[in-house]
Amino acid sequence: MSESCIAAAVTTRTAYNRFLLLVAGLGGLLYGVDVGIIAGALPYLEATSGLNAGQLSFIVAAVLLGSVISTLFAGMLADWMGRKKLMACSGMLFVISIPIIALAHGYGPLVFGRLLQGISAGLIGVVVPLYLAECLGASSRGKGTGIFQWLLTLGILAAAIIGLYFSHRVDEVAKLGDADKLYAFKDTAWRSIFWFSLPSGILFVIGSFMVAESPRWLFRRGRKEAALAALLRSRMDDQAQIELEEMEETAAAEKARTPATGRITKESLLHRKYVVPFVLACVILACNQATGVNSIIAYNATILIQAGLNDRQAHLGYVIFTLVNFLMTIGGVMLVDRKGRKFLLSLGSAGIILSLVCVGGLFHQTEKLRVDVKDAVQAMVTTNQTLALTFNEATAGNLLAAKPINGQKMSLIIIYSYGDFRAATAVARSDETAAKPVEIARDNCVPPNKVVAFFSNPFANLAEARTAPLKIENALITPVPGEHSGWLVAICLLMFMAFFAVGPGVCVWLALSELMPTRIRSNGMSIALLINQAVSTSIAATFLPTVGKYGYSTLFFVLAGFTVIYFVTAAFFLPETKGKTLEEIEEHFEGGKRI
C-alpha cells in the first residue's frame, strides 16, 4: 500500500473515531439533560398546571422510576438487539417524550412523558459506555468514556442555563404587572424549556444510525466478517487483525471448557472467573454514590447557607461549584489515558476523603452547640395536624428559653412524620426577615399513591399515614457560623467536586464497562448500575433526616468513611487497565497474566 493510501486510511479512521466520540458524547449530553431539565421547568409547571405537591413530586421522581425499570432490562436488550439499535431506540424514546410533555394538559401525559425520559436515561447509562468500551481502541477508550461524562456534566449545565434564561424572561414579564400575561408566559416557559432539549435527542438518533455495530457483539453472534469490518472502521488493518484473533482465542478457550455434549452453556455471574471483576465493578459504582456526590450537588446551596453564607453568596457558590465540575472533568478526560484509571481513582478518592473530613470538622464546631426544641414545637401543631412557624430572633429566643445559646444568628430544621413517612423542612435562618414561614402539611410528606409510597418506604402503611397525627421528631436550633466559616466550607466543597470530577466522575464509567468480561458485560453492567442507583436513592432519601437528627458533621464523616472503602479498593485491588484490550483484561481475571 502506497504512503498516500496509508495516509488517507489513517485520516478516514481518525475522522470516524472522532465522529464516534461525538455520538457517544451526545448520549452523555442527553443523559445530563434528562437529569437536569426539570429543575428549570418545575417552578413554572407548579404555577400553571394546577397539580398538587404530591403530583409534582411524582413527576420529578418519574425519571428515577423509569431509569430503574430500564436499567433492569438494558443488558438483556443490548444483547438481544445489539448496542447500536438500542442506542437509537433510547434516543427515539427521548425524542418522543418531548412533545408528549411539552403539549401535555393534565397529570397523565406529564407522568408518561417523564417515564419515557427516565427509561431513555437508564438505557443510555448502560449502552453507551458498553458500546464505547467494545468499539474504541485500548489507547482511546478512556478518553471516549471520559467525553461521555464530560458532556453529561455539560447537559446538566445546559439545562441550568436554559432555566436561567427563562427565569430572566419571566422577571421581565412580571414587571409589566399583568397577571394574565405572566401566567401565560410561565405556561409557555416550562413547555419551551423542554422543546429546547429536543435537538440533542434528534442528533443522537441520527448519529446512532451512522456508526458501526459493536465488533464484539457481532463476533459473539457468529458474524466474523462483519466484526472485522466494524474493527477496520476505527483501526488500522494490523491492529484489527490482532483484536479479532484475541476474540477468537477467547471463544476457543470457552469452547474448550464446553461439556462433551457439544452444547455451549452460558456461565452464571457466580462463576469463579467472573466474581472478582463483577464485585469490583459493583463496589466501585456503589462507593461512587456513597461519596454523597448527588446529594451534595442537589443540596449545595442549602449546605452553604447553613455553613454561614447568605442566600446570594450560597447561590454564587453553587454556580462556581457546577463550573468546577465541568472544567475538572476536562482535566480527567485528558489524563485518563495518560495516568491511568487506578491512579485517578486513588487520587480522587483520597482528595474526597480529605475534603469531607474538613467540611465535617467545620460543621462540628457549631453543631456541638445545637439544641432540640421538639416539645415546644409539637405544642404549636394545630388541630388539623399542620404547622406554620415564622422563625426569627424572637421565635428563636422563645423556643430556647429553657436552654439559651450564645450567638445572634440561629438556624432551624424540623424532622417530622405522619405515620411511617418521614420528612424534613428546609433550613430556616433567624436573620432572614423576608423568608416564608416554615410550613408542614401532610401533602409534603405522605406520597399521593402506592407507587410513590413504595419507592419512598416499601414497608410503610400508606392508608394509616393519611390519617396519622403530625409528630415532631426533632426541632433542632443551631448557631449559624460566620461568613468566614461559610467560605471555608465552600472551598472544601469545591475541592470535593474537583477531586470527584477528575477521578471517580470520569473513571466510574470505565470501571463499569472495562472490568466485566465480554460474555457477561451487558447484564453485569445493568446489575452494577442498578446498585449505583439504589445507593444514590438511599442517600438522597436519608440526607435531610440524617442532617436534621445528627448534623452535617456526622453525615460528612460517614461519607468520608465510605470513601475510605473506595480508596482501598482503587489503590490495592483494582488492576490498571490503561492501554489494554478487553480480552487482555479478561485474561488477567482468569489468572492468565498480570496487567
- Pairing outcome for strands 428-429 and 410-418: antiparallel
d(CA 99, CA 206): 18
**Which residue type does 128 have?**
V
pLDDT (0 to 100) of residue 98: 92
Domains 1-211 and 275-368+482-595 share a fold: yes
Q: What is the pLDDT of residues 30-58, one digit of tens each?
A: 877 776 777 667 777 877 877 765 567 67
The domains of the chain are located at: 1-211, 215-258, 275-368+482-595, 371-404+410-479
Q: Please give the residue that has the higher pLDDT: either 225 or 514.
A: 225
- Pairing outcome for strands 371-372 and 428-429: unpaired
Cβ contacts of 229-234, under 8 Å, gap ≥ 24: 230/135, 233/13, 233/16, 234/13, 234/16, 234/17, 234/20, 234/135, 234/136, 234/137
CA distances from 28 to 115, 194, 204, 370, 551 (A): 18, 17, 10, 43, 35
Find residue 475's DSSP bridge partners.
414
Q: How confident is the model at residue 261 (pLDDT cuts 50, 70, 90)?
A: very low
pLDDT (0 to 100) of residue 558: 94
pLDDT (0 to 100) of residue 57: 63
Residue 565, classified by CB atoms within 10 Å of its CB into exposed (0-12), middle (13-18) or buried (19+), is middle
Q: pTM to 2 decimals?
A: 0.71
**Which residue type does 396 have?**
A
Q: Which CATH class is domain 1-211?
A: mainly alpha
Largest CA distance in the chain: 91
* DSSP summary character for residue 574: P
**Among 31-40, 139-148, 252-261, where is mean pLDDT lowest?**
252-261
Q: What is the pLDDT of residues 387-423, one digit of tens each?
A: 998 888 888 888 887 677 766 688 888 889 999 888 8
Region at 340 (left for phi over 0; alpha for psi -120 to 50; beta for the rest): left
Q: Which CATH class is domain 275-368+482-595?
A: mainly alpha
d(CA 492, CA 497): 9
Picking from 63, 56, 65, the residue whose alpha carbon sits closest to that of residue 31 is 63
pLDDT (0 to 100) of residue 470: 94
Q: How confident is the model at residue 347 (pLDDT cuts 50, 70, 90)?
A: very high
Residue whose grid cell is 435527542: 201
d(CA 508, CA 120): 20
Picking from 227, 134, 132, the residue whose alpha carbon sits closest to that of residue 519 is 134
CA distances from 205 to 30, 84, 153, 479 (A): 11, 10, 20, 53
Chain centroid to CA 6: how far? 43
Grid cell locating 461: 402503611
Tell me how long the chain is: 595
Grid cell locating 141: 477508550
